[in-house]
Amino acid sequence: MSELKPCPFCGFDVAKSPLGHIWCDQCDYRLETDRYNTRPIEDALLTRAEAAEAEVKRLRNALAEFASTENWFDDEWASEIIESGREFAREILSEKGGE
């Protein structure tokens, strides 16, 4: 098993017994070793947070590129940007089921 996570109830470090149990001296939490580090809700939330952070980074980069563009008054350029924005909106809406 890899490194043990802190106690899910009090946050203190836990220890592994020779009999294969995990225990916390702080709150007396005990559990079998093979089930201890499995926290599906926490793992799912971390996955969602990582995806959100990646999306924020992508959007910040797109915004920075947009802000650095000097051709603000070029009609052809504006048309391309508007169409690109529409395509992006359609893509996002189709990925999220219209949410």
User: What's residue 96's pLDDT?
Assistant: 58
DSSP E strands, 1-99: 15-16, 21-23, 30-32
Q: Alpha-carbon distance 13 to 4, whole Å?
A: 8
Domain boundaries, the chain: 1-38, 40-95
**Tally of CB atoms within 10 A around 36:** 20
- Residue 38 is predicted with a pLDDT of 67
End-to-end alpha carbon distance in the chain: 40
pLDDT in tens, 34-87: 666 667 788 889 999 999 999 988 888 877 776 666 655 567 777 787 778 778
User: Order of strands across the sheet with 15-16?
Assistant: 15-16, 21-23, 30-32
